[in-house]
Structure 1
Amino acid sequence: MQTIIIAAGIMAAQGAAAPAPPPPPVAKKAVRAAPVQPEKGVLPSSDPAAQHAMAQRYALGEGVAQDYRRAAYWYRRASAQGYAASQYYLGLLCQYGMGTAQDFAEAARWYRLAALQGHSGAQINLGLLYLNGTGVPLDTREALKWVRLAAAQGDAQALYMLGLLYRDGKGVEADRVQAFKWLSLAAMLASDAADRGNATQARNALAGRLSASEKREAERLVQEWHPLAQQRFALVK
């Protein structure tokens, strides 16, 4: 599925996990008082998947002029029916003020609804909001909880963020072995070359601080956690 904004933007951070970066430089649509009306000649659909597809067309400018305000309208309709992907994207629009008023608390609300349905991107972004106290109370343990849930699905961004949290002792006691493990897994599972490079760089920087026995233990944990790790570990050595 295409995305309009990178899920959490954490792979570029080389220090402690940071809030998501601003969206790409696209023109924002002004939020107007008049409500959005359904398109002429288009029968309103009650199917949330169809509503989400319509929202994606406007968000991405596929076959129509890009219009985040109309995207938000259709995302809201699908979100009201519990469609997790729309709840996640609506959270993004609320977080960045694209097509709707910027509202971090509202973003957190939609992220939470999607996160409770297992949407890993929403789990990461909700974790970042808690980590930075944006729209929700600052709570590193709550941040860790949501990042763990996304990491359990093999999400490379969550694995990377979890590695940073263990490295820096945020929400959890600092643990170099655990940090090395999660950063190694992030490097293995990242599909994007830049993301993979960032995770590998962070992992290698940490490697110099590990004793030989700590490194062996970390490598054992990597192989234990991921079935393919034993075959792929050489890729990030």
Structure 2
Amino acid sequence: MGEVGLGLLHVAGSGVPLDYPAAAELFRRAANSGDGDGQANLGILHLEGLGVAKDYKEAARLFRLAADQGSLDAQTGLGLIYEKGLGVVQNHIEAARWYRRAADQGYANAQVRLGILHEKGLGVTRDPALAIALYRQAAAGGNPEAHFRIGTCLIAGTQCGARDPVEGRRLIGIAAEQGYPTAQDWIAANPQ
């Protein structure tokens, strides 16, 4: 097992103690040797401030290195950096560009983020139908946020076509079972 694999075990606390600083050091070694997975994972730690100082500029730098090597996590992370303006000037067009790169390769998290931009018309043409299509692709990949977004749409009867509160609640239930906190809160606030 390489440095990235061992670092991931430390992040998960799987078979080794949960230890973000140790994971960061392992990811740093891999990143310094040009490993895209090491760069992406170290970028995530800098983004969240886990085991290292929270540093959005460093996260963006690492994500860009890894994204250029094809890392879907890094492409999505870079999209988030631009969407939220974390350590960079907020730029929804650039966010959409990075999300699209990962979404086009079937990466569910990027499909959801790109869908949100299309739903709101941020950096892209507002296109609720495309947003729903992206959410459906992500839901097919098991993404809980996508299940939640489609479910709330079906309950409200907006953007999805016909209103279907039974199917909407079922999808929100799936998201809640997958551990998505917003869906769990919704279920608690809307008992049957």
SS at match of 1:206: coil
Structure 2 unaligned spans of 5+: 163-192
Deviations, residues 127-146 of structure 1 (Å, cap 9, x unaligned)? 01101111111111100000
Alignment partner of 1:178 is 2:130: yes
Match of 2:141 in 1: 190
Q: Which has the higher contact order (CA 8 A, sep 6+)?
A: 1
Q: Distance in 1 between matches of 2:123 and 2:96?
A: 6
Match of 2:173 in 1: none
Identity %, equivalent residues: 37
The amino acid that maps onto 2:160 is A
Structure 1 unaligned spans of 5+: 1-48, 210-237
TM-aligned CA deviation for residue 185 of structure 1: 2.0
SS at match of 2:90: coil
Quick one: which of 96, 101, 119 aligns to 1:144?
96
Larger Rg: 1
Q: What RMSD over aligned residues (CA atoms) do the two structures have, in Å? A: 2.0
Match of 1:113 in 2: 65
Q: What stretches of structure 1 move > 3 A for 4+ residues in a row?
A: 202-205
Q: Quick check: 1:159–1:185 contact (8 Å CA) kept in 2? A: yes
SS at match of 1:98: coil
Structure with the higher fraction of residues in helix conformation: 2
The amino acid that maps onto 1:206 is Q
Q: Could you tell me the TM-score, scaled by structure 1's length?
A: 0.61
Deviations, residues 147-203 of structure 1 (Å, cap 9, x unaligned)? 00010111122112222211111001212332232223223x2324x3452142255
Q: Could you tell me the TM-score, scaled by structure 2's length?
A: 0.75
Give matches, 1:1-237, under 5 Å.
50-187=2-139, 189-192=140-143, 194-201=144-151, 204=154, 205-208=158-161
- The aligned length equals 159
Q: Distance in 1 between matches of 2:99 and 2:124?
A: 12
Q: Distance in 2 between matches of 1:99 and 1:78?
A: 16
SS at match of 1:207: coil
